[in-house]
Structure 1
Amino acid sequence: MNAQTPALRLSVVVPVKNEAGNIASLLAEIESACAALAPFEVIYVDDGSTDATPNLLAEAARARPWLRVLRHARSGGQSAAVRSGVAAARAPVVATLDGDGQNDPAFIPALFAALEQAGPGAGLAQGQRVGRKDGRLKTFQSRIANGVRGRILRDATRDTGCGLKVFRREVYRALPAFDALHRFMPALVAREGFAVVHRDVVDRPRFTGRSNYGLFDRLWVGMLDLAGVWWLIRRKRPAPPVTEVTP
């Protein structure tokens, strides 16, 4: 980026695994939704796909200068894909959404505005889904998991599993890295001393294919992570002021 190029306002990170049927339509929606936030970039992180996803992303990137594509040599999971995308992001504010089409990119500008309006003391604008389209069993499991998490962590968030998030890049980089981090972000952002704001977003059915992520919705899979996050919050101590001593 040279001196004549305006600084990016937003990086949109999209983790995907075997989502060939959803690439073209979701990219078009992201481009339309983020037009008012230009200049922006979109970073697709291909988490070891075995279908046509890599080829379709390579083809899409040739026609879109704002699209960047990263690829994991093997699947590392959704949190790892998000972390790779944020590490590569060049804008100070990052948005994330799932690559299956259930998260509507049209809500990104509202989340971006909510974060900006809340000021530098806010680190995360968290989407919270209404009108869930996951099916009764998955929705029920998710409701239980969210209820248990909320009671233990007291993060004041109804739905941490929503992939629609907008946050400050440097705040994310201060968070501990572990699998399922993206599902505990409100509690961990608050742990760092930043406020979390919430906006309702409308859920919708995935475009095509089947879910490749979402194991946390099975309550017992997330219990160890929940215990670990609770421990991290309990062990947090305020950093003392530091001054350099000069002779």
Structure 2
Amino acid sequence: MNYQFTIIVPVYNEEDNLLRVEEELLAYAKIATKKTKILLVNDGSKDNSQELIEAICSRNPEFTFINFKENRGLSAAIKAGFDFTDTPLVGYIDSDLQTTPTDFNILLQHIGEYDLVTGVRSNRKDSFVKNMSSTIANGIRRTFTHDGMDDTGCPLKVIKTDYAKRIPMFKGLHRFLPAMILLQHGKIIQVPVQHFPRIAGEAKFGLWNRLLGPLVDCFAYIWMKKKYINYEIDSRS
């Protein structure tokens, strides 16, 4: 089908959202500026998510899935999506659809010049506690990484696939995607996108893992930055 863009959708206990995921991503595929397919990554859901995923994929050729044997976390789901992507561009969106897939077209406008384009959630429709903890976590991360990004937790990103596949795996990866592209001497940019309240399902991150998690992961990032192997070929025979 000559697809150019793969959208990864991590799923964990999102049975109440999946039919809306199908509807909205199918609608986006019809207006996408790049020919698009969707990869649902079921992160060991314990509800009926997998049954719904299989039904969605059976009736829509644009959809495929990966099903984990057990829950491994958001970073593992995203990394698996990168590993199985075979298009030049890859992106991801959360299955709660608090961001809209139509905004991928805004991000795709910039991907020619840049290697990662990330959304920044405008007028966030979350609670005060959630917004404040996110602001603090982003401040902690920027202090360590100097990536200049205001909202790396925004679940709307587009990356050139060859860069995405070179990102090393560790838990908390999803918070450091821009920094990981910078380690490869890639170019990154942030672009405002829309944000909406969660309609169904439950949030998977609380105050504890929004604040402590990023702080611990920053030390892992500093270690990785010192050990990261990066080279450019000048010539070969």
Q: Given the two structures, how large is their TM-score scaled by the length of structure 2?
A: 0.93
- 1:149 equivalenced with 2:149 (yes/no): no
- Secondary structure in structure 2 of the residue aligned to 1:166: strand
Look up the equivalent residue of 2:21 and give its one-letter code: L
Structure 1 residue 233 displacement after superposition: 2.7
- Distance change >3 Å, CA 187–CA 214, structure 1 → 2: farther
Kept in 2: contact 1:115–1:197 (CA 8 A): no
Alignment match of 1:94 (pick from 90, 112, 116): 90
- Is 1:30 the counterpart of 2:25 in the alignment? yes
Q: How many Å separate the matches in 1 of 2:145 and 2:173?
A: 14
> Which digits, 9 at most, give the CA deviation of each residue in 1:142-198, with x for residues without a partner?
110101111221101000001100001110111111011111011110110100011
Question: Match of 2:99, SS?
Answer: coil
Per-residue deviation, residues 65-87 of structure 1 (Å, max 9, x unmatched): 11001100100000101111121
Q: Distance in 2 between matches of 1:214 and 1:88?
A: 29
Distance 2:145 2:111 in 1: 22
In 2, Cα distance between equivalents of 1:24 and 1:146 = 32
> Percent same amino acid among aligned pairs?
28
For the Cα contact (< 8 Å) 1:21–1:207, is it kept in 2? no
In terms of mean alpha carbon deviation, does 34-43 or 55-64 score higher?
34-43
Q: Please give the per-residue CA displacement for 1:19-54, whole angstroms capped at 9, x wherever unaligned.
A: 011111122111222323353210000111111111
2:125 corresponds to which residue? 133
Equivalent residues of 2:121, 2:195 under 8 A apart: yes
How much has 1:234 moved relative to structure 2? 4.1
In 2, the alpha carbon distance for the partners of 1:218 and 1:47 equals: 19
Structure-2 separation of matches of 1:163 and 1:22: 15
- Measure, in 2, the Cα distance between the counterparts of 1:176 and 1:90: 18
Is the contact made by 1:33 and 1:109 (CA closer than 8 Å) also made in structure 2? no
Paired residue for 1:54, among 38, 50, 54? 50
Contact 2:38 2:64 (8 Å CA) reproduced: yes
CA RMSD across the alignment: 1.8
How far does residue 201 in structure 1 lie from its aligned partner after superposition? Answer: 0.9
- TM-aligned CA deviation for residue 241 of structure 1: 3.7
Q: Distance in 1 between matches of 2:16 and 2:75?
A: 22
Shift of 1:211: 1.1
| Correspondence list, 1:209-228, <5 A | 209-213=201-205, 217-228=209-220
Alpha-carbon contact 2:167-2:181 (below 8 Å) kept: yes
> Separation in 2 of the partners of 1:71 and 1:223?
30
**Equivalent residues in 2 for 1:1-247 (5 A)?**
5=1, 7-35=2-30, 36-37=32-33, 39-116=35-112, 118=113, 122-213=114-205, 217-236=209-228, 239=231, 241=233, 243-244=235-236
CA–CA distance in structure 1, aligned partners of residues 20 and 176 of structure 2:
29
Q: Distance in 2 between matches of 1:14 and 1:238?
A: 29
- Structure number with larger C-alpha Rg: 1
Q: Using the alignment, how far apart are the partners of 2:121 and 2:115 within structure 1? A: 20
Matched positions, count: 236
Contact 2:7 2:91 in 1 (8 A): yes
Consecutive unaligned residues of structure 2, counting only runs of 5 or more, are none
Separation of aligned partners in 2, 1:150 and 1:184: 10
Displacement of 1:235 after TM fit? 4.5
Any conservation in 1 of the 2:108–2:158 contact (CA below 8 Å)?
yes
| Separation in structure 2 between the aligned mates of residue 162 and residue 243 of structure 1, nearest angstrom | 39
For residues 206 and 183 of structure 2, what CA distance do their matches in structure 1 show? 24
Q: Which moved more, 1:234-243 or 1:157-166?
A: 234-243
